């Protein structure tokens, strides 16, 4: 090697590093952004099986139409998405179509992800290409006739799917728009918090009005009604605590929402959590979808109440207080707790039967747990104590029957 060139090498190297370093920094920033957005989209919750390799898919998802197995989204070229281009990835997120044009089952929330911007889709794509590839063949879905016919998705799409990126509302604040983008898009909150009809679709006109989650037997409360999970009366701090820590002075997350906080929401930054809180709080100015339930005859409900109080004083009052004030955030208040008074009593009954832990999060790493009572209380006793907490201390819920309690004993726990 000529001496002059040798002498120049360090200079060349320095020059190179000037050129390369920003590119690498840019890559690192893109990957970090993609990883963050993948958290916001909660990709991991469905695309990772229990004890399975991260993002390698294979998780069975039970639907009323059969079992769907989630796909491998690692960059393995044969079994994952290693051969996909960023255009093809965007096509799936935005349009619900595979690279070959095939239709994606709407268990993948492309109805929400369609709102994700191209730049964010590209960042997630870049991140998913950077994770370790896993060779694991996708397992075929196990869907019942006629739902195993993919062309049915065409009908579903006609009824329920509108492609289109999020359009900011110039009349609203930047925070509101950011929150709306996250809640309606990557957060895909509407997948549970909008009622699913018999066709497996959800109607935009009923967005965020709540509904029973099929197969899981948990009720996803309305986000638009202050009588349910509407957050109109919550402070921004209470909402952000709830979303990020999983506990707040108003109540704790449980059931499927615990999964969302554990895998997704706890990782969002202060600004985004706050933006979501602002948007969610604003949602409650809409309609109230109240549907009256048939009340129990008075004689039956008054009997339930006196038994309910006895059980409450014996089993519940030590944590939730004699008059239901709790000791927030770890022992949630029951008086004034919207989640207990909703028309659907499913969640309150299930909490009494199964108990539960809020998720362990960075903000609440050692949560307090509620004991299960399924093995200690009879159906009558469960109905009595749930009726008591739904109707005492100013709570305005309706009585529940032993039959309702009995039906939920068989609810799937996982």
Partner 1 sequence: MAARVLACASCHGAEGEGTSDVYFPRLAGKPAGYLYNQLVAFRDGRRKYPPMNYLLDFLPDAYLKQIAEHFASLRPPFPPPAVPTVSNETLARGEAIATQGDPQRGIPPCASCHGSSFGGMEPAIPGLLGLRASYISAQLGGWRYGTRTAIAPDCMQIVASLLTEDDVKAVAAFLSSRPAPADPSFARRGSLPMPLACGSEPN
Q: Which residues bind partner 1 (CB under 8 A)?
A: 50-51, 258-259, 261-262, 319, 354-360, 365-376, 412-414
Instruction: Identify which of residues 48 and 112 has a Cβ nearer to partner 1 in the complex.
Output: 48
Instruction: Identify which of residues 77 and 371 has a Cβ nearer to partner 1 in the complex.
Output: 371
Q: Cβ of residue 90: shortest distance to partner 1, in angstroms?
A: 31
Instruction: Identify which of residues 77 and 369 has a Cβ nearer to partner 1 in the complex.
Output: 369
Tracing tokens 């996909």 back to the chain, one arrives at 84
329 preceded by a cis bond (ω within 30 of 0): yes
- Give the H or E element holding residue 143: strand 142-143
Query: What gap in Å lies between CA 411 and CA 62, rounded to an integer?
Result: 13
- Give the H or E element holding residue 1: none
The token duo for 380 is 């009558």
* Residues 6+ away with beta carbon under 8 Å from 94: 110, 113, 114, 116, 121, 163, 165
Q: Cβ of residue 258: shortest distance to partner 1, in angstroms?
A: 5
Instruction: Identify which of residues 55 and 166 has a Cβ nearer to partner 1 in the complex.
Output: 55
Q: Cβ of residue 328: shortest distance to partner 1, in angstroms?
A: 14
Closest CA to 110 of 127, 95, 124, 90: 95
Instruction: Identify which of residues 148 and 318 has a Cβ nearer to partner 1 in the complex.
Output: 318
Q: Cβ of residue 372: shortest distance to partner 1, in angstroms?
A: 6
* Four-CA torsion 210, 141, 34, 16, nearest 10 degrees: -170
- Whether the Cβ atoms of residue 208 and residue 194 lie closer than 8 Å to each other: yes
79 preceded by a cis bond (ω within 30 of 0): no
Instruction: Identify which of residues 293 and 319 has a Cβ nearer to partner 1 in the complex.
Output: 319
Q: Cβ of residue 217: shortest distance to partner 1, in angstroms?
A: 12
Q: Cβ of residue 356: shortest distance to partner 1, in angstroms?
A: 7
């Amino acid at each position: 090697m000529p001496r002059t060139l040798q002498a120049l090498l360090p200079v060349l190297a320095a020059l190179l590093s000037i050129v390369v370093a920003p590119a690498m920094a840019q890559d690192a920033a893109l990957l970090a952004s993609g990883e963050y957005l993948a958290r916001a989209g909660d990709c991991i919750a469905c695309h990772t099986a229990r004890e399975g390799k991260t993002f390698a898919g294979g998780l069975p998802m039970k639907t009323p139409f059969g079992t769907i197995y989630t796909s491998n989204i690692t960059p393995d070229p044969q079994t994952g998405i290693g051969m996909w281009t960023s255009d093809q990835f965007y096509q799936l997120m935005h349009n619900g179509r595979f690279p070959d044009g095939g239709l994606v089952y709407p268990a993948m929330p492309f109805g929400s992800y369609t709102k994700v911007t191209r730049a964010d889709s590209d960042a997630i794509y870049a991140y998913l290409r950077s994770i370790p590839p896993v060779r694991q063949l996708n397992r075929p879905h196990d869907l019942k006739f006629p739902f195993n016919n993919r062309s049915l998705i065409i009908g579903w799409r006609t009824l329920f799917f509108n492609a289109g990126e999020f359009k900011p509302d110039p009349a609203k604040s930047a925070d509101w728009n950011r929150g709306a983008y996250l809640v309606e898009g990557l957060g895909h909150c509407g997948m549970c918090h909008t009622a699913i009809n018999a066709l497996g679709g959800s109607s935009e006109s009923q967005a965020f009005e709540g509904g029973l989650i099929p197969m899981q037997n948990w009720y996803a409360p309305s986000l638009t009604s202050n009588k349910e999970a509407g957050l109109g009366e919550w402070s921004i701090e209470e909402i952000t605590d709830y979303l990020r820590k999983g506990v707040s002075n108003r109540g704790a997350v449980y059931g499927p929402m615990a999964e969302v906080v554990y895998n997704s929401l706890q990782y969002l930054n202060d600004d985004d959590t706050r933006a979501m809180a602002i948007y969610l709080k604003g949602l409650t100015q809409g309609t109230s979808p109240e549907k009256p339930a048939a009340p129990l005859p008075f004689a039956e409900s008054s009997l339930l109440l006196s038994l309910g109080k006895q059980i409450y004083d014996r089993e519940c009052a030590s944590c939730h207080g004699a008059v239901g004030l709790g000791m927030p955030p770890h022992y949630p208040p029951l008086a004034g707790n919207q989640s207990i008074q909703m028309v659907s009593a499913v969640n309150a009954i299930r909490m009494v039967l199964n108990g539960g832990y809020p998720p362990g999060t960075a903000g609440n790493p050692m949560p307090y747990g509620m004991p299960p009572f399924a093995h200690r209380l009879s159906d009558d006793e469960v109905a009595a104590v749930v009726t008591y907490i739904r109707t005492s201390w100013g709570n305005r819920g309706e009585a529940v029957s032993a039959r309702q309690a009995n039906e939920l004993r068989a609810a799937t726990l996982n």
